[in-house]
Structures are given as C-alpha cells and as structure tokens.
Amino acid sequence: MILNVTLGCLALLSFVLMLWQWWVARGFPLHRRLAAPVFGPGLTLLKPLKGCDEATEGCLRSWLVQSYRGDREILFGVAWADDPVCAIVRKLLKEFSGCDARLVVCGPLEGANLKVCKLAQLERSARYDVIVVSDADVRVPPDFLANAVAPLEAPAVGLVNCFYRLANPTTFAMRWEAVAVNADFWSQVLQSRSLKPLDFALGAVMLVRRSCLREIGGFASLTEVLADDYQLGNRIARRGHRIDLCPVVVECCSGAMGWSAVWKHQLRWARTIRVCQPMPYFFSLLSNPTLWPLLWAAVCPTVPALLFGAVCLLARVAIARDLQRRLMAGPDPSPPAGLAVSGSIALAKDLFQVPLWLLAFTGNRIEWRGERMHLRADGTMVKD
C-alpha cells in the first residue's frame, strides 16, 4: 500500500509538472516580431569559428544579410590561418565587401575553453557598446538583430538571449536529441522563469552590454569554464542586471551525428547542468512524465494505475508534438521532418534520461570538441 501510494503520488506530480511546463510555454509570445523596430545601437558580432561543414556558409551568410538600421561590425575569429573555415569566410567577405566584417586570427590561445579564448581576444577589437556572441552553427532570420536588440533599450536589461531549435535532424539519433531541445528544453526554461527571474543565459545567441561584460571581467574570466553561456548570464544577473528573452527563434544546424556522438553530447550537457545547478538537476527526475506512470503501472498494476498511466503517456505524446510544432513554426518554419513521430520519440527520450541522470552524478569526465576533459566541481575544466 505504501509503495502504491508513493508511486501514484510521483506519477501525479510528474503529470502536473508536465502540464505546468506546457501551460507556461503556451503563454510565451514565441516568434512575435516588432512591427517597426526603431532602436538600433552600434553592435559588434563576435563569431568564433573552428572547422566547417555543409551548413557553415549558410549560417555565416545569415549574419551578413541582416536588416539592421544601426552600425554593426562582424569579427570572425579562428585559431589558425589554415583552418578550412577561412576559405568560406574570405569568400563571404569578398561577396559582402560593403559590410564591416573581417577575419581575425586569434593566438596563442591559453585556456581550457578555446571558444571563449577566441572571444576574449575578439572582445579587445570590438568597437561598439553592444556585444553579440553567436555559435558557429547558428542561422538567423533577416530581422533577428532588429528584434533581439530591442529589450536593451531598457537600462535594467544587461543581456538578451533567445531560444533555438535543431533544424536539421538527419539521423534518428538527432531526432531523439531534437525532441530534447525542440519540445522540452525551451519549455523547461520558461517553467524555471515562472518561479524566478532568469539567472543564466542560452548560448546560441547572446547580446550583452559591454559595460556589464566589463563588470564581470570580460570573456577572459570565463576561459576555464565549460558552461560559458550559463556563467556569463549568471554573473551578470548576480550584478543586478536583468536577463531578457527575445521571442524570435534561431536555428542550429549541425552535421550528421550518430548515436555515439549524440550520447556524448547529452552526457556532457547533463554533467554540465549538474555542476551548474546540482539541486534542481537532482530533483529534475521527479518531472519525468514517462518514468513514474510506467513504474507505477508496472509495480502496482491496478486499474487506477493502468488508466492513469495510459492518460499520462497519451498526454506526453500530444504535448511533445505541440511544443515542437510551436517552436518550428513562425515566418521561417523549419521542415516538419520527423514531427509526426516526435511524440513517440519523447517517450523513449524520457526513459533514456534516467541513465543519463545517473551518469551525471557518477562521473566528471566529458568529451568536448574531440578532447577529453575533466570537469571540476566549480564548473572549470582541465584536459585529461
């Protein structure tokens, strides 16, 4: 009886948390655009690069064709002049010769996080007071900057970030990861925001005031940390500045990945979150809307448990599909590849989250950008 009641309560709790997550996501004005943007401060885009794939040129081009009324410069940073991505950058610089953009060879790079090492060097060359940071695989719509910079018109806002979607899940493993991002991650962020103001940042694209960046020591203070986006937002929030969310969604386009690469990525992500937010991540297992109803029905196969389990699983499938459809919608929607089966994949994803959750607490080694690293308790990392 005690086990039956305990598992029933856990199943009910996970169901309520899932509905809460869906409700706050439904209330967020996703994809909303400004009718006539007028705020246009000068800004510098820092774009750290390493290597390239078939999506790289399109992602970089999207930043060069922005409809933005203010002054802007783009600094493409590489570690070596013979990096394959340099050929793509030079081609684009020639094509967009009227754009204030240039290729910067950064070096030597000293620090565990080589991406942030590039940012630290690019920061010194930035001319404008608004710094934009974006990952290499991010593609943005033409009106992104005009909309994303708007919250910075309020003096209290120190950093603006946005949601992102995995736009090209070409393998089944990537579709599994796409459900984790396109259905769950953004709605979990909004669930967290419904409890307290954001105190972290999402790293796909971040716009930050240069004055706020200086307050925390610039990017040079983040060269040893893994979760540089989280730390950047957290340190700025602790200084009393507000973090805002732009409703325009950007796309992350990565090369094809198999199960091994996706698993390593998810494990790195899990251990990173565990280090950044140990207690919330520990209790995150309670919100697994597939695990607890199935466990209750399997251990105590009573009629209420079986009926409630069926309702929970059907609701999980429907909500996952709805959340992913909403994120992929908008003026420039992604192809709906895999959307029809995303709900079913969500059930498998929830079950795979259990070993990931366990492994997050039982190890500190990660593989990142082809290198094995040891993750310290303070979020810094060193090479194995």
Chain segment 142-171, per-residue pLDDT in tens: 999 999 999 999 999 999 999 999 887 888
Percent share of the chain, pLDDT over 70: 96
pLDDT in tens, 341-384: 667 789 999 999 999 999 999 988 888 777 788 888 888 888 87
Q: Kindly provide the residue ranges of all beta strands, DSSP E only, lying in 80-149, ordered along the sequence.
A: 101-105, 130-134, 138-139
Give the residue-averaged pLDDT of 42-56: 94
Beta-sheet pairing, 371-375 with 365-368: antiparallel
Give the count of alpha carbons within 13 A of 340, CB side only. Answer: 1
Shortest CA distance to 353 belongs to which of 250, 279, 245, 274? 274
Contacts of 301 by beta carbon, 8 Å cutoff, 6+ apart: none
Shortest CA distance to 206 belongs to which of 135, 154, 140, 150? 135
pLDDT at 307 over 80: yes
Report the chain's mean pLDDT, rounded to a whole number: 92
Could you tell me which CATH number the domain at 43-263 has? 3.90.550.10
Show contacts of 189-198: CB within 8 Å, 24+ apart: 189/163, 189/245, 190/21, 190/24, 190/25, 190/28, 191/17, 191/20, 191/21, 191/24, 191/25, 192/280, 193/24, 193/245, 194/20, 194/24, 197/237, 197/242, 197/243, 198/233, 198/237, 198/243, 198/244, 198/245
Return d(Cα 159, Cα 231) in angstroms, integer.
12
286 is written with which tokens? 């309670």
User: Do 69 and 40 form a contact (C-beta atoms < 8 A)?
Assistant: yes
Name which of 41-55, 168-182, 266-280, 322-336 the model is least confident about.
322-336
pLDDT computed for residue 330 by the predictor: 65
Query: SS3 of 37, please?
Result: coil
Give the residue-averaged pLDDT of 307-329: 93
pLDDT at 235 over 70: yes
From-to residues of CATH 3.90.550.10 in the chain? 43-263
pLDDT in tens, 70-88: 999 999 999 999 999 999 9
Which residues are bridge partners to 72 per DSSP? 43
pTM, two decimals, is: 0.92
User: Do 53 and 255 form a contact (C-beta atoms < 8 A)?
Assistant: yes
181 is written with which tokens? 């991002």
pLDDT computed for residue 253 by the predictor: 87
pLDDT at 28 over 80: yes
pLDDT at 208 over 90: yes
pLDDT computed for residue 372 by the predictor: 85
Distances in Å between the Cα of 117 and the Cα atoms of 137, 218, 308 are 18, 11, 51
Query: SS3 of 276, please?
Result: helix
